[in-house]
Amino acid sequence: MSVDPIVLFFLLGVGARLLRSDLRLPEAMYEGLSIFLLITIGLKGGVELAAHPLGPLLPQAGGVIAMGLALPLIAYPVLRGIGRLGRPDAASIAAHYGSVSMVTFAVALAWLADRKVPHEQYMPLFVVLLEVPGIIVGILIAKLGAGRGVHWGDLAREVFLGRSVVLLAGGLVIGWASGPHALEPQAKLFFDLFKGVLALFMLEMGLVAAGRIRELRRTGVFLLGFGTLMPIVFATLGILVGRTVGLSAGGSMLLGTLAGSASYIAAPAAMRIAVPEANPSLSLAAALGVTFPFNVIVGIPLYATIATRLFGPPI
Amino acid sequence: MSVDPIVLFFLLGVGARLLRSDLRLPEAMYEGLSIFLLITIGLKGGVELAAHPLGPLLPQAGGVIAMGLALPLIAYPVLRGIGRLGRPDAASIAAHYGSVSMVTFAVALAWLADRKVPHEQYMPLFVVLLEVPGIIVGILIAKLGAGRGVHWGDLAREVFLGRSVVLLAGGLVIGWASGPHALEPQAKLFFDLFKGVLALFMLEMGLVAAGRIRELRRTGVFLLGFGTLMPIVFATLGILVGRTVGLSAGGSMLLGTLAGSASYIAAPAAMRIAVPEANPSLSLAAALGVTFPFNVIVGIPLYATIATRLFGPPI
Amino acid sequence: MSVDPIVLFFLLGVGARLLRSDLRLPEAMYEGLSIFLLITIGLKGGVELAAHPLGPLLPQAGGVIAMGLALPLIAYPVLRGIGRLGRPDAASIAAHYGSVSMVTFAVALAWLADRKVPHEQYMPLFVVLLEVPGIIVGILIAKLGAGRGVHWGDLAREVFLGRSVVLLAGGLVIGWASGPHALEPQAKLFFDLFKGVLALFMLEMGLVAAGRIRELRRTGVFLLGFGTLMPIVFATLGILVGRTVGLSAGGSMLLGTLAGSASYIAAPAAMRIAVPEANPSLSLAAALGVTFPFNVIVGIPLYATIATRLFGPPI
Amino acid sequence: MLPVHPRKVVVIITESALEPQLVKDVRRLGAQGYTIADVRGGGKHGDRDNDWERDRNIRMEVVCDEPTADAIARHMRETHAPHWAMTILLGDIGVLRPEKF
Amino acid sequence: MLPVHPRKVVVIITESALEPQLVKDVRRLGAQGYTIADVRGGGKHGDRDNDWERDRNIRMEVVCDEPTADAIARHMRETHAPHWAMTILLGDIGVLRPEKF
Amino acid sequence: MLPVHPRKVVVIITESALEPQLVKDVRRLGAQGYTIADVRGGGKHGDRDNDWERDRNIRMEVVCDEPTADAIARHMRETHAPHWAMTILLGDIGVLRPEKF
Ligand SMILES: Nc1ncnc2c1ncn2[C@@H]1O[C@H](COP(=O)(O)O)[C@@H](O)[C@H]1O
Ligand SMILES: Nc1ncnc2c1ncn2[C@@H]1O[C@H](COP(=O)(O)O)[C@@H](O)[C@H]1O
Ligand SMILES: Nc1ncnc2c1ncn2[C@@H]1O[C@H](COP(=O)(O)O)[C@@H](O)[C@H]1O
Ligand code: NA
Ligand code: NA
Ligand code: NA
């Protein structure tokens, strides 16, 4: 069987960086591609939302948000107890794993589409809902636990109006308000090119993920274990939550992937400002250097298998 | 009825900026998208020009240029008399409103295409013809009126060889020289993606337009009135000129949109150099903060209505 | 007959620069487009390689590499003897002409595709194979001849892991490992947009090539002759090699184009580091200011004619 | 010769995420202006060479009188330097329009 | 110790639209070279923070002898400073190859 | 007033292709850090105005003690300056944390 080109692009980036090639994507291109992906995922979800009555989604949304609040509370004691990390670092890493990775979600989406597995098309709504709660809980752990105040105004702007939330949620609303027909003239850019852009973006992700691997030597073996086992636990939890709130097997697998993914865009930005005493290298090495590659290569097929086992019908 | 996604993208940008999100498009992306739009509009017009004998277009072109020369002469006394602005500022704003906004034109084009309204496909020719005259007249008012000399050589290069004129005119010539058949291999980039790129660009336009709104508080209510009423007057004039030179209702509406639009790329660049004593915030706040949003949201449908009234058959 | 838009885009760039327009593409866009082109050419070749047994290609590959090693050895004595250039400059220019220009190859590819001339679809493999040998031989001439040592480790990384080799070779491997079917979701980006992107890139090439023309005045007439005649000799040689190793007329014409093209990305980067005493303006003026435009406008049709004469059946 | 007035220039090289905070800080401490460039670099906190969006540095330059420079440098050292990659430099510079700085 | 020759450095921070003019100006006034960086900033003319293409600043640095520095600073102050966002700074710097500056 | 410790700043403006080499050089010669900005400029080797990827300049700034500054400047002048467009400047600067530089 042929290998998924999306994974190959990622590996090309990893290889180029490990061999110390001078290959790098210009930063504007990286930003442009990520803007494109965020909007497109939003639009896709929004177009589908338009076809659904919103009422029945509310309980699902509530369950998903509750899960987002719970995840960092599970991760934190593990990081303190087993990882022996200080409060700021443990809280920061918990926030990263409580939030989500939009690219991991996109890869899972493409993976399901290639295999024609049905799933709720409005899943992007949950990406938006899951991005913020984990970060807020992580900050609360760091601040309140340390008996320190929080600038709630600044913080809210940082997390709710961060680039990725605005683009995802903006795309959702535009897709929802326009509907598929009005968006047709834009479809050739946003929808037709999505998987090609994702492949290019994975090249960049490979370059930056490999750049983080060096740091792992310094941070030791704990983060390696945490970055691979915690996602499996979280993903399983996500799949169970999906099942509980009534998602299909495909949708539950996607929710599991979200739960098992770690944020490396929104969370690092917010935590650096809110908890500057945490070492940003630790959390980024784990989220980007371990968990992202793990999910892309091992996790996604694994979570599909888990979902299949739990649901019965094979994905 | 669903809302036009192009307007929604614009509003997303406006909202993100007003809420002080950190969302911004990398400058290279902004420039890349605008290069794409300028070339594509040029190519579209050029391909159509190839199908027309050029002779009969000459009188139309003459009428359009004459209008371009007249517009700043109408705006200037209003700005001096009612707005009580000094000579440099009045001349500079007159130049902005004498010239045109390519993006407003593109939005109007997409608006007509969505409604399948027929119009002369070579209209991009008039965008090129209208870009420069208004700027030159504005500079003349500022300079000669002040009894000061003009570096005509530098100035000509600045306005005739500015980025937007070169790309629009270059696209026109390439489209004209190649014809539709030879351009087919390029069509999937330039023509198929046009409306998607325009939507992305409108997101950026929303961000920058909203950034100008703050300045309006300082410049007062006059620019608000000028920036909404002058376009209506100019657009009506443009529609009448269109009718006079024999354009269709759709073509006249487009010419009206051009007349009613204000330049925020070519004119600011040229005026800053040629008339440095003018305050660039005033003209940009009006052109970008008032007139551009007004045209995109209110103006374009309004000009279509005016054209319909004047021509009879509904657009 | 209509003119090829790819050439027209190039001429637009040349004209804009010669008239001193302020038009320039943002650097990130230039880099992004070139990354796109390199990957796409690689993917195209790789997809075709997957359909071929690799064994029979080995002798062809050997012949092509041997040619790559030979070209600078032919150019060097000409540059020393007739051009009266010093050892470093002659060696550096020889390296540029020994290596290849990916964009010239892409233009030739598009030229053949427009005319539906059959050719071996795995030709991109030879682009990869030809990029490096000429550069290494050029460095050897400069260094060993001067009795100086070479940092082989650094040098190998510079040439074998330079951006263009990594992207081309990476694209080849991904295309080969995925095969056409798995790449279908990416085809709409990489394959459908290829010629449009190439056209945009040629605009940038026109701008930079024209910027080099000024320098030619200083470097005199020799480089003008060398930059037009050497490519014809090399291209003829390349066509003969193609015939010898069993390529079709179209494939031989492409190999000739590669032989006749001069590198202006990989070679300048490598030579500047390895042979800093060479004047980089000379080699770049020749490769970019003379040979690139010559090949795009005159060379490619000429090499097709030569291939036709040598092979019999008209291209 | 033009009369040149002596002033201080404070240069702060730090992580780009701190930019909005720095701008607020220096304004509050009395600076009448500032200039910021995107840079990359290396120091005690390792190489910050731009290969990931959060790994960028900025270089802020503030021209001001000596007390303001002192206040800015002191604030940076005490508030941000403990937790951020940061270099603080102080130099002498001349200005033509003393009221501007 | 290398012998170090004292020179002046003129720093001009202003709107990017002025760049071509500045380059012509300093060459004409005797500078043998110049260096320009893209920057953003804030001052009397408000924040110039890069969010629209006409809102960019540049920072030009010219190393030269004292009379040239004086001529450049004077020209900037008289010709451009009245109508443009502009900061002019003058500093001391050392060079190794005195004939170059 | 904060105690300010005098140091030297070496500024090297040169072709961007030399960047990796320069970073290695200054580290080897004892610098504890460096800062690099992308710039453009003009000098003896013509205008380097960014219009082709190989025509970019960088501006490297190294704050260090006097012997290190001397060693860096000397090395640049002897090894790279003959073949590369390069400007080497030496200035005085103050730092707050002397152990860092
Ligand atoms: N000795 C130095 N000279 C110039 N820049 C420095 C020096 N040390 C540190 N920097 C800059 O300041 C940033 C933060 O420094 P640090 O906190 O030492 O990591 C670095 O990333 C460099 O850009
Ligand atoms: N005190 C200052 N320190 C550093 N840079 C300044 C200062 N004042 C102004 N600038 C820079 O000079 C530009 C023009 O200044 P102004 O004319 O005061 O608006 C600003 O946009 C800043 O980039
Ligand atoms: N007098 C000067 N003032 C400021 N920068 C200079 C000066 N001379 C040269 N440079 C910079 O140093 C680079 C190399 O200088 P050169 O070797 O003289 O061509 C130039 O491209 C400029 O960026
Ligand atoms: Na998660
Ligand atoms: Na107008
Ligand atoms: Na060659």
Digit-coded pLDDT (tens) for D60-80: 999 999 999 999 999 999 999
C-alpha C28/C-alpha A219 separation (Å) is 34
Determine the distance in angstroms separating the CA of C171 from the nearest CA of chain A, rounded to an integer: 9
Half-sphere exposure of residue A34, counting CA atoms within 13 Å on the CB side? 26
Mean pLDDT calculated for residue range D13-41:
96
Produce one character per residue of A144-160: b if its CB has 16 or more CB atoms within 10 Å, e if not.
Answer: eeeeeeeeeeebeebbb
**C256 C-alpha to center of ligand 6: Å?**
9
Highest mean pLDDT (candidates A50-64, A143-157, C95-109, C273-287) = C95-109
C269 touches chain F (CB under 8 A): yes
Give pLDDT, residue B86: 94
| CB contact burial A166-177 (16+ within 10 A = b; e otherwise) | bbbbbbbbbbbb
- B260, B131 Cβ separation under 8 angstroms: no
Contact residues, chain F to chain E, C-beta under 8 Å: 11, 13, 37-44, 57, 59, 66, 70, 73-74, 77, 81, 87-92
The dihedral formed by the CA atoms of A245, A246, A250 and A255, expressed in degrees to the nearest 10: -10
Residue C21 lies in a domain: no
How many angstroms separate the CA atoms of C43 and C173, rounded? Answer: 8
The 10 Å Cβ neighbour count of residue C77 is: 12
Q: Which residues of F touch D (CB under 8 A)?
A: 1-2, 4, 9, 23, 27, 32-38, 63, 91-97, 100
Higher pLDDT, A149 or A155: A155
Q: Which of C190, C201, C208 is nearest to C284 (CA)?
A: C208
- Going from the C-alpha of B249 to that of each of B112, B309, C219, C244, the distances in angstroms are 11, 10, 58, 65
Distance CA A261, CA A254 (A): 10
The pLDDT > 90 percentage for chain C reads: 75
Size of interface E-F (CB pairs under 8 A): 61
At residue B69, the 3 state secondary structure works out as helix
Predicted local distance difference test score (pLDDT) of residue C152: 75
Burial class (CB in 10 A: 0-12, 13-18, 19+), B1: exposed
Helix ranges restricted to H, chain C: 5-18, 27-49, 57-81, 87-98, 102-114, 124-131, 133-145, 152-160, 163-182, 184-190, 194-219, 221-244, 249-260, 266-274, 280-284, 292-294, 300-311
Q: B2 pLDDT exceeds 80?
A: no
DSSP lists the bridge partners of residue E94 as E6, F90
Closest to C31 (Cα-Cα) out of E50, A260, F52, B8: F52
Compute the count of residue pairs across chains C and F with CB atoms less than 8 Å apart: 29
The alpha-carbon radius of gyration of chain B (Å, integer) is 18
Q: Is the pLDDT assigned to residue B313 strictly greater than 80?
A: no
What's phi and psi for D55, nearest 5 deg?
A: -105, 25
- CATH label of the domain that carries residue C224: 1.20.1530.20
The three-point CA angle D41-D47-D50 to 5° equals 70
* DSSP code of residue B22: -
Contact E51 B207 (CB under 8 A): yes
Q: How far is F32 from chain C (nearest CA, A)?
A: 24
**Joined tokens for residue A199:** 């492949």
- Which residue type occupies B291? T
Q: How far is B21 from chain A, CA to nearest CA, in Å?
A: 5
Residue B174 lies in a domain: yes
Q: Is F36 in the pocket of ligand 1 (CB under 6 A)?
A: no
Tokens representing residue A286 in the block: 């784990």
In this model, does residue D47 exceed pLDDT 70?
Answer: yes
Counting ligand 2 atoms within 8 A of each CB, the residue from E11, E12, E13, E59 with the most, and so the one to mutate, is E13
* C91 CA distance to ligand 6 middle (Å): 14
F61 CA from centroid of ligand 2 (Å): 22
Query: At C314, is the secondary structure helix, strand, or coil?
Result: coil
Domain region containing C207: 5-15+26-309
Rounded to a whole number, what is the distance in Å from the CA of C58 to chain F's nearest CA? 35
Q: Residue B182 and residue C114: Cα distance in Å, rounded?
A: 9
pLDDT digits (tens, 9 = 90+) for B242-277: 999 999 999 999 999 999 999 988 898 889 888 999
Contacts of D1 in chain E (CB under 8 A): 70
Question: How far is Cα B235 from Cα B302, in angstroms, rounded to an integer?
Answer: 10
- Tell me which residues have their CB closer than 6 angstroms to ligand 2: D 31-35, 61-64, 101; E 13, 41-45, 48, 57, 85-87
C271 neighbourhood in chain F, CB within 8 Å: none
| Closest to C51 measured CA to CA, from C113, C121, C124 | C121
Pairing of strands E5-15, E86-95: antiparallel
Residues belonging to chain C with any Cβ–Cβ distance to chain A shorter than 8 Å: 26-29, 31-32, 35-36, 39, 157-158, 161-163, 166-167, 170, 173-174, 177-179, 181-183, 185-190, 193
Does any ligand 1 atom lie closer than 6 A to the CB of residue D30? no
pLDDT tens for C89-138 read 999 999 999 999 999 999 999 999 989 999 999 999 999 999 999 999 99
Smallest CA–CA distance, residue E61 to chain B, in Å, is: 22
Cα gap A271→E99, rounded to integer Å = 52
Backbone angles phi, psi at A274, to 5 degrees: -80, -35
The pLDDT assigned to E78 comes to 95
Alpha-carbon span C23 to B30, nearest angstrom? 14
What is the mean pLDDT of the segment spanning D29-33? Answer: 97
Dist. CA C112–CA D31, nearest whole Å: 64
Residue B188 has pLDDT above 60, yes or no: yes
DSSP reduced 3-state for E88: strand
Instruction: Give the SS3 label for residue A253.
Output: helix
Average pLDDT, stretch C23-37? 92
Contact (CB<8Å) F52/C208: yes
Spell out the residues 6+ positions from residue C152 whose beta carbon is closer than 8 angstroms to its own. none
With a threshold of 0.90, tell me whether the complex ipTM lies above it. yes
Give the start-to-end residue ranges of the domains of chain F.
5-100
The pLDDT value given to residue A273: 86
Average pLDDT over residues A227-242: 97
What is the number of the ligand 1 atom nearest to the C-alpha of D41? 23
Per-residue pLDDT for A1 more than 50?
no
Cα separation, C224 vs C231, in Å, equals 11
Q: Residue A67 Cα, ligand 4 centroid: separation in angstroms? A: 10
Question: Would you state the pLDDT for residue B216?
Answer: 78
pLDDT-based confidence at residue B158 (cuts at 50, 70, 90): confident
Q: Please state the domain count of chain A.
A: 1
Which segment of B189-193, C51-55, C76-80 scores lowest on mean pLDDT? C51-55
- Residue A80, CA atoms < 13 Å, CB-side half-sphere: 14
Please state, rounded to an integer, the average pLDDT across all residues of chain C. Answer: 91
Atom of ligand 2 nearest to the CA of E41: 23
Write out the residues of chain E at the interface with chain D, using a CB-CB cutoff of 8 A. Answer: 11, 13, 37-44, 57, 59, 70, 73-74, 77, 81, 87-92
Q: Is the pLDDT of residue A314 over 60?
A: no
CA of C291 to the centre of ligand 6 (A): 10
Residue B20 lies in a domain: no
Would B100 be classed as within a structural domain? yes
Residue nearest to atom 1 of ligand 2 (CA): D33
Whether residue C146 is predicted with pLDDT greater than 70 in this model: the reply is: no
Q: Does the structure show a pLDDT above 80 at A148? A: no
**At residue C207, does pLDDT exceed 60?**
yes
Q: Which residues of C touch B36 (CB under 8 A)?
A: 200
Instruction: Give the separation between CA C130 and CA B169, rounded to whole angstroms.
Output: 39
Contact status of E78 with chain B (Cβ, < 8 Å): no
Fold adopted by E5-100: Alpha-Beta Plaits (3.30.70)
Nearest CA to ligand 1 atom 4: F34
| Mean per-residue pLDDT, B119-136 | 93
**pLDDT (average), residues E20-31:** 96
CB contact under 8 A, F53 and C277: no
Q: Do A157 and B20 touch (CB under 8 A)?
A: yes
Percentage of chain B modeled with pLDDT above 70: 97
Question: Residue B258's pLDDT is what?
Answer: 98
Q: Nearest to residue A127, comparing CAs of A41, A202, A198, A199?
A: A41
Residue B181 φ then ψ, to 5°: -65, -50
What is the C-alpha separation between A123 and A102, in angstroms, rounded?
A: 12
CA distances from B227 to A106, B91, B221, B271, C274 (A): 43, 15, 10, 18, 60
DSSP state of A291: I
Interface of chain A toward chain C, CB-CB under 8 angstroms: 2-5, 8-9, 12, 15-16, 19-23, 25-29, 32, 110, 113-114, 192-193, 195-197, 199-200, 203
Q: Cβ neighbours of residue D57 under 8 Å, at least 6 residues apart?
A: D13, D14, D15, D16, D38, D39, D40, D41, D48, D85, F35
What's the pLDDT tens digit per position in A251-298? 999 999 999 999 988 898 889 888 999 998 899 999 999 999 999 999
Q: Name the nearest CA neighbour of D47 among A214, F12, F70, F75.
A: A214
User: Given a cut of 60, is residue B314 above it in pLDDT?
Assistant: no
Is the CB of residue E84 less than 8 Å away from at least one CB of chain B? yes
pLDDT tens for residues A70-93?
A: 999 999 999 999 999 999 999 999
Examine the pLDDT at C204 and tell me if it is beyond 80: yes
CA of A6 to the centre of ligand 4 (A): 21
